[in-house]
A and B are shown apart, each in its own frame.
Chain A
Amino acid sequence: MPPRLTLHVFRAARRLLLPREVARVHEVEAVQTADALARDAARRGRRAAFAYWRAEFLSLAYTAVSVRRPDPALPDDLVSSAGSPLMLSTLRHDLRHAVRLLRQSPGFSVVAIATLALGIGANAAIFSLVHGVLLTPLPYPDSGRLVQVLHAAMDDPSALANITPGNFYDLERASTLRPFAAVSATTRTLTGRGEPQPLAGIRSAGSILEVLGVPPLLGRIPTSRDDQPGAAPVAVISHPAWQRLFGGEAAAIGEPLVLDGRPFTVIGVMPAGFQFPTPDVEFWIPAQFPAQLRASRTQFMLTGVGRLADGRSVREADAELQALMAPLRADHPQANSNLGVRVQPLHDAVVGATGTPLWILMGSVACVLLIACANLANLLLARAVHRRREIALRQAIGAGRGHVLRQLLTESLVLGLAGGTAGLATGYLFLVALLAWLPADTPRLTDVSMEPAVLLFTLLVALVATVLFGLAPALQLSRKAPASVLKDTASSASARSRLRPALVIAEIALALVLLAGAGLLLRRFQALQQVDPGFSARPMLTFRIGLRSTRYPNAAARLAFVREAIERLERLPGVVAVAAGSNLPLAGRGTGAWFNRLDRPVPPGDTPPAVPYRVITPEYFRALGIPLRRGRLLTDTDGLDGTPSVVISESAAKRFWPDGGGRDPIGTEIYLGAPHDRLFDRATVVGIVGDVKLAGLDSGITEAVYGTQSLMPWWSSFTFLVRANGDPELLAPAARRHLQALDPSLPVTSVQTMDQIAVSSVAPARSSMLLLGIFAAVALAMAAVGVFGVLSFNVTRRSREMGIRMALGADAASLRTLVVRDGMVQALAGIALGLLGAFWLTGFMSTLLFQVPPRDPLTFAGAAVVLALVSALACYLPARRATRVDPLVVLRLE
């Protein structure tokens, strides 16, 4: 909670809890002192701040009690002037009575507490999630001034691309961004400190650590001077890496860190808890690009991160960088034509697409809470009516109205506290489960924890709900003269309230909205499951290998290794095919390059289109089951010293050889890359294969160019695919052994089956579907309980009427119909209202949905039917009870 707000809450709490004079006399100072103490604590961190406020509020509560305790040394008149009616002894008495009452009606208490617990718990957990991921600022000093810079197409600002080193070093002159850096991710093999292991790291042009502004725990961070070609190679490591590799010793500074065979000197260690951009990154090194790469305008590899200079805004930075791009477009027409920039707050870039699903979840738990409150209100109202006689009786024998109200208030508070505590516990457990279960690459998951704001909010909701709904009817009831209530035998007018049916209708409407939402996500998930990925997935084992150390200094060594590895793996039992490729399907767009037809060169001023490419071994297509459409597949001789050839995907063929555009793709020569900086000089298209979903089942990226390793021998990291009969995971240990026999220092990473990859690519869709489904189920259950409760109550209230009807000859069936109709009218009204609401609200979900229209009639109808059936069941049980009434008993009882 923002500090100012907590201070106001403190002041209000003092006034509320302490007797008036006591509260007033030192109010200004106490608040000032609390403010100063809170600031001191905040300087020590969030946990310290929370601990301080907890202690402060607890001691305030204690003071509130002790200030009222009668002091034996004080004369009586002082007691009454300092004290208030809320004497300690009566409070204890009221509390005991309240607890006893709640214990006497366990059904009511359990349902009320459980309702509160579910509603509050779900909200506490989801709000903590939303708060941590979306609302908390990034964990860097003054993080609101951090921005991300990317290239954007001038004619389509939503088409973004990485920055090239050449452009970056020119844009670095900007005065609105001080400092300004650009980063790219890298994985290097660490040797010389125990087993060889892969480390994830960041290369930074400029100094990213300077931009972020977090001071190192030890040593120093690199500056722009360290990023010059020829400067000494240095590295900063993360805290966990420091602990693991150097035992947490200060002597780590100055030690060498050997990455891919090159030694880097450790110059600094970042503090515990620091991460950029993700928790798995363990080192940060200056890019130190060689001169040619430093000037490159065609390697789109960097993401810009800068800090706004004092007093400058995002818009000013955007404008300045756009202005700086203009001469760059003129000077490098082919590379930079149509390129602009886009500057956005770093927070938005990090959070990305998780915003919409999280807000939808927040909306749905809010609905659940509303339903819970409606149920609670119904419960408490029914109970108040039920107890009207008891209340009247107590008033008749002398309890003052204030006393009665105070007691009812205490009961409500006890219920609220119990429900709130249960809600917190539920919420905490739910949050723990959520964090364990959400996909690990959800952004900012480590920033999520149960917030103090959440704790206060939930307690507040619990207390307000119970006091409001428990006290209001009681107030009304206690206003009547006791005698009239005691005399009142028939169902009194006060029991007939419009409020209760209205609450039920509202509950059902909310439940329908949730069911519709969950149904839509279910349909989306089903649609995803049915998408054809373009290859036959299973069963297949995959793992990654990087050939970058000094053992593989040239193409020949890499080619030899891959060939040898494939031969060995093919000999494993049960193996049907083995291949290697630069990327796997479904894993992402991967690296792309400019596509150029030799017979139709792109005009000098235009930028060629970029297309993803893959470096593969010839068995790749067979191993994955990618069908050949035309021409032939690749062989080992299709490399640089044979017949340089490539294979393209169907959609690439369609795009670059549109119908009526002339030649057949097969036989055309192409190259990839910039004219002066080609991936290979030229190659002939020899075959067209079926489209494969490169970046996930719901993405449309399917264009690809495939070339063998012998065509692009500079490529150094591969994913191996081993297709087998039987369970591919069983092959993993043997595969690892064979590879390590070839090179013991080679780390084998990302070992997973193709099945696992396919499952994790739909994991986000599945998570949101399941979560929303759970909330919808809870809402449905609560709405059913609500309907059931109201109808039961009505039946009890009308039991005399039922008795009379039966005595006059009505049969059981007609009585049942009476009750059911009563309930179903409410249910149907709720469903109708809910459909309207769902119609409006699900429009907000359209960005999430894939191949399912947001107003899908099938889903809505299904939700309505489910709700109607459940309501009918909830009506039926009380209806049956109505017919069990013995008319004689009922009539005699009155």
Chain B
Amino acid sequence: MSRSSHPSAQLPLSVPVFQILVALADRDLHGYAIIQDVAARTEGEVQLTASTLYAAIRRMLEAGMIDEVDEPRHGVDRDDERRRYYRMTLYGREIARLEAARLERAAGMARAKRLLPKMRKA
């Protein structure tokens, strides 16, 4: 994965990579918090191990999807200063968006074929 390539060239994303991007969509998190967030959101379906997480993070860093943020957090939690936080880059955000759209299209196809129930109008 290299940053010079177009976002769409990175698709389709693996499950861990996509879930990490979603976790980082609205705030910066450190490794353990990412794992907790993913587990909570997917209700236990996706349980990342430390090895999988950091392997993915390494690749995402290399590809430019995320950045490391070293400054300690103020306020909310009394976090350990040694923890490194991760932040989604604009490039990463674009990739995440494209992947989400791809998944939505796929869900739409399934819905059209009645594999999924139709969406109820709110």
Contacts and interface: CB of A to CB of B under 8 A. Distances in A.
Interface of A: 14, 22, 25-26, 28-34, 36-37, 52, 55-56, 59-60, 62-63, 66-67, 71, 73-74
Given A30-B51, A56-B50, 10 more contacts: A22-B58, A28-B82, A29-B30, A30-B54, A31-B50, A34-B49, A52-B49, A56-B51, A59-B51, A60-B51
Contact of A55 (B1, B31, B49, B83): B49
8 contacts: A14-B51, A26-B54, A32-B82, A34-B51, A36-B32, A37-B50, A59-B49, A71-B1
Contacts of A71: 1
Contacts of A56: 49-51
B5 interface: yes
Most buried by A among B30, B31, B84: B31
B24 to A, nearest CB: 15
B52 interface: yes
Contacts of B83: 29, 32
Given A32-B32, A33-B32, A59 B2 contact: no
Contact of B54 (A29, A62, A74): A29
B47 A33 contact: no
Interface in B35-52: 35, 47, 49-52
B90 interface: no
B53 interface: yes
Contacts of B52: 59, 62-63
B21 interface: no
A26 B57 contact: yes
B55 A29 contact: no
Interface of A is mostly: helix
Most buried by A among B5, B50, B58, B80: B50
A52 B47 CA distance: 10
Contacts of B50: 30-31, 33-34, 37, 56
B51 A25 contact: no
Contact of A29 (B2, B31, B49): B31
Interface residue tally on B, bucketed by range:
20 to 34
Most buried by B among A22, A32, A71, A74: A32
A73 B49 contact: no
A32 B83 CA distance: 9
A240 to B, nearest CB: 30
B95 to A, nearest CB: 14
Nearest to A57: B51
A32 to B, nearest CB: 7
Given A59-B49, A71-B1, A33 B31 contact: yes
Nearest to A23: B54
Contacts of A55: 47, 49
A584 to B, nearest CB: 56
A73 B32 contact: no
A26 B49 CA distance: 14
A480 B49 CA distance: 46
A25 B84 CA distance: 12
Given A29-B84, A73-B1, A74-B2, A37 B55 contact: no
A284 to B, nearest CB: 37
Contacts of B80: 32
Contact of A66 (B49, B55, B57, B84): B55
A55 B5 CA distance: 33
A73 B53 CA distance: 21
Nearest to A71: B1
Most buried by A among B2, B32, B51, B54: B51
Contacts of A37: 32, 35, 49-50
B55 A73 contact: no
A65 to B, nearest CB: 11
Contacts of A63: 51-52, 55
Nearest to B55: A63
A73 B58 contact: no
Contacts of B32: 32-33, 36-37
B51 A67 contact: no
A28 B5 CA distance: 31
Contacts of A59: 49, 51-52, 55
Contacts of B54: 26, 29-30, 33
A26 B2 contact: no
Contacts of A33: 31-32, 35, 50, 53-54
A678 B3 CA distance: 96
Contacts of A32: 31-32, 80, 82-83
Contacts of A74: 2
Interface string B87-106: 00000000000000000000
B53 to A, nearest CB: 7
A557 to B, nearest CB: 62
Contacts of A67: 55
Contacts of B58: 22, 25-26
A29 B57 CA distance: 12
Contacts of B1: 71, 73
Contacts of B47: 55
The 9 closest A-B pairs by CB, nearest first: A34-B50, A60-B51, A59-B51, A33-B50, A26-B54, A63-B55, A59-B49, A56-B49, A33-B31
Nearest to B9: A73
Most buried by B among A26, A31, A33: A33
A14 B82 CA distance: 20
